[in-house]
Amino acid sequence: MDQPSGRSFMQVLCEKYSPENFPYRRGPGMGVHVPATPQGSPMKDRLNLPSVLVLNSCGITCAGDEKEIAAFCAHVSELDLSDNKLEDWHEVSKIVSNVPQLEFLNLSSNPLNLSVLERTCAGSFSGVRKLVLNNIKASWETVHTILQELPDLEELFLCLNDYETVSCPSICCHSLKLLHITDNNLQDWTEIRKLGVMFPSLDTLVLANNHLNAIEEPDDSLARLFPNLRSISLHKSGLQSWEDIDKLNSFPKLEEVRLLGIPLLQPYTTEERRKLVVARLPSVSKLNGSVVTDGEREDSERFFIRYYVDVPQEEVPFRYHELITKYGKLEPLAEVDLRPQSSAKVEVHFNDQVEEMSIRLDQTVAELKKQLKTLVQLPTSNMLLYYFDHEAPFGPEEMKYSSRALHSFGIRDGDKMFSGACLPGPEDQECAGEGGVHCGRPSDGDLGVFPPGSRSLRREGPHFSLLLLPFPALPPISCLGSVLYFEFRHHMFT
Q: What does the pLDDT read at residue 381? A: 86
DSSP letter (8 states) at residue 166: -
Average pLDDT, integer, range 58-83 = 96
Between 3.80.10, 3.30.43, 3.30.70, 3.40.50, what CATH number should domain 1-133+145-158 receive?
3.80.10
Please answer whether residues 198 and 172 qualify as being in contact, where contact means their C-beta atoms are separated by less than 8 angstroms: yes
Give the Cβ contact number of residue 441 at 10 Å. Answer: 12
* Secondary structure class of 196 (helix, strand, coil): helix
Please answer whether residues 203 and 229 qualify as being in contact, where contact means their C-beta atoms are separated by less than 8 angstroms: yes
- Number of H-type helices and E-type strands within the chain: 13, 26
State which amino acid sits at residue 234.
L
Q: What does the pLDDT read at residue 19? A: 74
pLDDT (tens digit, 9 = 90+) per residue, 268-313?
A: 999 999 999 999 999 999 999 999 999 999 999 999 999 998 899 8
Helices 318-327 and 294-308 meet at what angle, rounded to 10?
120
Q: What does the pLDDT read at residue 185? A: 96
pLDDT (tens digit, 9 = 90+) per residue, 410-422?
A: 888 888 888 875 4
Q: What does the pLDDT read at residue 439? A: 35
Sequence-separated (6 or more) residues with CB below 8 Å from residue 375 = 348, 350, 355, 357
Please answer whether residues 283 and 255 qualify as being in contact, where contact means their C-beta atoms are separated by less than 8 angstroms: yes
> CA-CA distance, 59 to 434, in Å (whole number)?
103
Average pLDDT, integer, range 380-406 = 83
Domain residue limits, the chain:
1-133+145-158, 162-333, 343-484
How far is C-alpha 10 from the chain's CA centre? 44
**Domain pair 1-133+145-158 / 162-333, same fold:** yes
pLDDT (tens digit, 9 = 90+) per residue, 179-197?
A: 999 999 999 999 999 999 9
State which amino acid sits at residue 329.
K
Q: Read off the pLDDT band of 46 (50, 70, 90).
A: low
In CATH terms, is domain 162-333 a member of 3.80.10.10?
yes
Choice between 302 and 431, residue whose per-residue pLDDT is larger: 302
Where is average pLDDT lowest: 157-166, 291-300, 387-396, 440-449? 440-449
Nearest to 158 by CA among 170, 172, 176: 176
Model confidence at 472: pLDDT above 60: no
Q: Read off the pLDDT band of 107 (50, 70, 90).
A: very high
Model confidence at 37: pLDDT above 90: no
DSSP E strands in 99-154: the ranges are 104-106, 130-132
Q: Which residues on adjacent β-strands are paired with residue 472?
A: none
Choice between 336 and 412, residue whose per-residue pLDDT is larger: 412
> CA-CA distance, 359 to 368, in Å (whole number)?
8
Q: What does the pLDDT read at residue 410? A: 84
Query: What percent of the chain has pLDDT above 70?
Result: 76
Q: How far is CA 423 from CA 291, 454, 464, 465, 488, in A?
A: 68, 20, 7, 8, 11
Regarding beta strands 155-157 and 178-180, do their DSSP bridges make them parallel or antiparallel, or are they unpaired? parallel
Which helix (H) or strand (E) is 5 found in, with range? Answer: none
Q: Which fold has domain 343-484?
A: Ubiquitin-like (UB roll) (3.10.20)
Q: How far is CA 290 from CA 255, 259, 293, 307, in A?
A: 12, 12, 9, 23
Q: Read off the pLDDT band of 47 (50, 70, 90).
A: low
Model confidence at 374: pLDDT above 70: yes
Choice between 25 and 117, residue whose per-residue pLDDT is larger: 117
Average pLDDT, integer, range 101-108 = 98
Model confidence at 231: pLDDT above 90: yes
> CA-CA distance, 101 to 77, in Å (whole number)?
5
Q: What is the mean pLDDT of the chain?
A: 81
